[in-house]
Structure 1
């Protein structure tokens, strides 16, 4: 008896079931997004190919009114137009990006293609774009400080390696300048920096890159860019590719990289556009209900790892743009609740000439003060107390007709402290110089100077070679400048 006629129906059934699992059909298309039916083995962050050899990424699974499984997906590199009824094939793999030493001092696009290559050894490894955040057991407390080179931040709002510190402010208030100064300050350190530009114009990205080239600061930096002319799919994916790049060096090289996401408000707008194209229900301000989860799973990847995993850390500086100084917006409050503190920038301070325009009242750090150096903590404690008294007294003096001499002296001293905080862009100050400047302010050596001469005095003090301060105490150097230049 020949058993083959009995086995054919079973083999045919298995083939049909396999085709239903790994094949799907496009039922609708949009601007870079498609809706699929079938493809029963689909999962979030899964990859598939189309008939035109385009790569797709699954981002959403849901059921329609007839309880059929529908799949929302993104087209990463659409080549030819796709019509309804086209078939897709699942690859049963996660979305990956090719990383390695070749990415250092290079510019990449959201899918990992090199736009500007550094010419390093081409050692490439596939790395998942989206990976789960480290668990509580795999983390440890922040113990190392990350110096930004800005005396206003390092003294009053310290940041630790592995912390998530939000930079929030209106348009053109210096958010990108703080990021660039932080990059420049890591020039002689072991911190590798990844700058991710989301939805910015090509001219502004080129300006940032040229400013870093002029300072010879691109050899410890990688840039990922999705310009304003890029699709919403690329702007959404660029943030996760930017998080995967420093994560690769944290795990493999045990380094403490710095990730800058500039900015997440445009990333949220791109995700809103994607979900509206997928015809999914919208929530507050037309954002999808899971926008909080989109940003939380991105920022939770920043952590200080335990020594069992190498002890590396990933520090993140997300940037949020506000409107008219309103930090109570939907996206800004979401990211504030995720991060470990925020640096709030004020448009009024920026217009009054105080740079960086940091609003001390709204800025806070919840983790970094533990990692702050004891010397800085000692000199900055008195400074923060005096500055808080100055802000309170300044608001009171606007309504007072006559002030006593002691109040006037406190206001003058507070104005000198504010002048000390002023710092031009692209000129970070080392930690030892910051401690020296704050110690001089505490010793009342600047009392003889007028307010307009404080900036000139600081420039002269910073021009003194560093080896001189190792031999001569900073107070003697300051007295020499006061006596020789200002005749005080």
Structure 2
């Protein structure tokens, strides 16, 4: 058999003949532009009259860019990949493509940059599907009501600020008081909950990034988590794209009918990166020098988080955006924008942090607009008046500072409020199960935590935790079964009311 007669070469020849048959001799026009200036992660380009917003550009040296500004005389582009050979006068070509990312289960457990390149030293995952980074949010007809709980494992949140799958809940507070720790606790609690997580790190220092990834690996969370990283040393373009990349990864799973959780850490840094890009590209500045479309930037990102209707797969994407305040000022520009976009906020207070109440969640400023609709019926019944009673206790406690003499009933409310505050304290990296949440709420409501000192409160919490490990009980068990279980697990219980 001759060389040309082998099966492989025969197929190649057939392909060449097909290409030759299709070839048409005609005039071909190719549009290209020239780089006018390059620097600070952007490039100014002349030419390319057919260019469109968010279209990918290819430079002759191999660099890649994304059109970010359309002007009469020139274009402004974000540089996604830049070589040392890129300079003024370089040719630029249109690709006719929008920025997309490879998605799929191969990203689980991986650390990638906003362009999908691996940062964990492992080979690039083999993925066949692609999704565009910036797409419209799901239409109203494709959405469903948020009714299924997303357990955070944090007692004060699951009892008083409950979250649902598909909700957008803002985590807000000053720097260094536990916003990232709170988000990490929520991610760790999704183990065995059939929720895939995406953690987006925007503009973080490398030491902080490594610390977070090591923590996720140490606690086994990387088995269901993808980490998207845009470091502090990266260009503002990559920081701007990072949350959209993380959303795209989770959105693929959501449309497959799976439940996902995305943490954006944090959107304050994202807003500053977008402001930097806009000012470099000469866009008109607005309040605090942010461009006028900064609200639209975050709304089009967060509106993609939702709960899909069963006809569209029934998947969900829950968003936990983090935003930083200065001196507790929640009325600043970016925080107020995000508060108006999201379905509630968890506010962390520096004074509570300093007093040792951890997590330092200020219940008076925190709210979940989904509320009890996303709670298990048993937990909802036990937590029905808990937030109101706790708020009343905080108000009464303020009066006691003035030395006012209170009635016996008021003193009882203050004593029970102090017990509840001690129960709500929780160490970081120690998320609790829904069964534990129901156990302590029932024990508190029925007087089983009516003890003489705080040490006894902690002892009873430990007894509940040990009891659940040794003698598990189902969340849907009857109230009588739960009451009997509590009697067997707790020693020295007080008066049982209700």
Q: 1:484 to 1:398 in 2, by over 3 A?
A: closer
2:410 equivalent to 1:407:
yes
Please list the CA deviations of residues 137-192 of structure 1 after superposition, one character each: whole Å capped at 9, or x if unmatched.
12121121111111111111111111111000111111111111111111112100
Residues 172-321 of structure 1 correspond to what in structure 2 (within 5 A)? 172-251=176-255, 253-321=256-324
How far apart are the structure 2 equivalents of 1:186 and 1:120? 26
2:52 equivalent to 1:49:
no
How far apart are the structure 1 equivalents of 2:263 and 2:151? 15
Please list the CA deviations of residues 383-419 of structure 1 after superposition, one character each: whole Å capped at 9, or x if unmatched.
2222121011112222344333332222111010011
Q: When the two structures are superposed, what TM-score results if normalisation uses the length of structure 2? A: 0.88
Deviation at 1:474, TM superposition (A): 5.0
How far apart are the structure 1 equivalents of 2:117 and 2:452? 55
2:222 counterpart SS class: coil
Higher mean Cα deviation, 290-299 or 69-78? 69-78
Structure 1 runs of 4+ aligned residues shifted over 4 Å read 117-121, 471-482
Deviation at 1:338, TM superposition (A): 0.8
Higher mean Cα deviation, 77-86 or 179-188? 77-86
Deviation at 1:485, TM superposition (A): 11
Partner in structure 2 of residue 422 of structure 1: 425
Work out whether residues 102 and 118 of structure 1, in 8 Å CA contact, stay in contact via their aligned partners in 2: no
How far apart are the structure 1 equivalents of 2:367 and 2:424? 17
2:82 equivalent to 1:78:
yes
User: Mind listing any 5+ residue stretches in structure 1 that lack a counterpart?
Assistant: 1-10, 63-67
How far apart are the structure 2 equivalents of 1:440 and 1:82? 68
Higher mean Cα deviation, 90-99 or 31-40? 31-40
Q: 1:366 aligns with which of 366, 369, 385?
A: 369
Work out whether residues 138 and 306 of structure 1, in 8 Å CA contact, stay in contact via their aligned partners in 2: yes
Work out whether residues 69 and 281 of structure 2, in 8 Å CA contact, stay in contact via their aligned partners in 1: no
Partner in structure 1 of residue 17 of structure 2: none
Deviation at 1:83, TM superposition (A): 2.8
Partner in structure 2 of residue 30 of structure 1: 39
Higher mean Cα deviation, 114-123 or 308-317? 114-123
Q: When the two structures are superposed, what TM-score results if normalisation uses the length of structure 1? A: 0.90
**Aligned residue-pair number:** 466
2:227 counterpart SS class: strand
Deviation at 1:481, TM superposition (A): 6.1
Q: 1:125 to 1:197 in 2, by over 3 A?
A: same
Work out whether residues 282 and 288 of structure 1, in 8 Å CA contact, stay in contact via their aligned partners in 2: yes
Q: 1:110 aligns with which of 111, 114, 119?
A: 114
Q: 1:95 aligns with which of 92, 96, 99?
A: 99
Deviation at 1:457, TM superposition (A): 2.1
1:80 counterpart SS class: coil
User: Mind listing any 5+ residue stretches in structure 2 that lack a counterpart?
Assistant: 1-24, 475-479
Work out whether residues 57 and 74 of structure 1, in 8 Å CA contact, stay in contact via their aligned partners in 2: yes
How far apart are the structure 2 equivalents of 1:425 and 1:189? 19
